[in-house]
Amino acid sequence: MRIAIGSDHRGFQIKGKLITLLTADGHEVEDYGTQSDQAVDYPDFAVVVAKRVADGLVERGILICGTGFGMAIVANKFKGVRAAACCDEVMAEMCRRHNDVNVLCLPGDLIGDRPVGDLVRIWLATEFEGGRHTRRLEKIAGIEKVELT
């Protein structure tokens, strides 16, 4: 799978670990920064990854900031992007199963030293259930088409 990944300074260490894990698992990873633990603004990185997903240039995106919330807010501004902040395996599985989430947002400050690999692997492996959930995603797609004045 082709995966775009980005983080701010609070997710930098986890991003590096995930790139190693994803590459070892055979995924093609596009790293969009940041490249150090120096303070940066998370929207700058969320925009690049979300745009890659929205344009269909990658299948999935992973974003990491302190809580995951800011990255999710930015990513969800892009048509066709469904981003969710997850901090455990159950959330990662359910966001895929019910919401077909294509951008996983991780909380660097809350994950800490816990192994994040299992969470990401579950998210990547879980299929969208379809069924009643498809109807709901179609409603979301309809909302994206509405021009707000």
Mean confidence (pLDDT) of the chain = 95
Residues 6+ apart with CB under 8 A from 66: 8, 10, 11, 107, 108, 109
Q: Tell me the whole-structure pTM to 2 decimals.
A: 0.95
Q: Which CATH superfamily groups domain 2-145?
A: Sugar-phosphate isomerase, RpiB/LacA/LacB (3.40.1400.10)
Which pLDDT does position 91 carry in this prediction? 96
> Domains of the chain: which residue ranges?
2-145
Residue range 112-139, pLDDT digits in tens: 667 899 999 999 999 999 999 999 999 9
**Per-residue burial over 80-117, b = 16 or more CB atoms within 10 Å of its CB, e = otherwise:** ebbbbbbbeeebbbebbebbbbbbbbbbbeebeeeebe
> Which residues carry out catalysis?
65, 98
Please check whether residue 65 is in contact with residue 42, taking contact to mean a CB–CB distance below 8 angstroms. Answer: yes
Please check whether residue 62 is in contact with residue 120, taking contact to mean a CB–CB distance below 8 angstroms. Answer: yes
Pairing of strands 103-107, 28-31: unpaired
Which pLDDT does position 146 carry in this prediction? 79
Which pLDDT does position 149 carry in this prediction? 47
Q: Which residues of the chain have pLDDT under 70?
A: 112-113, 147-149
Which pLDDT does position 147 carry in this prediction? 62
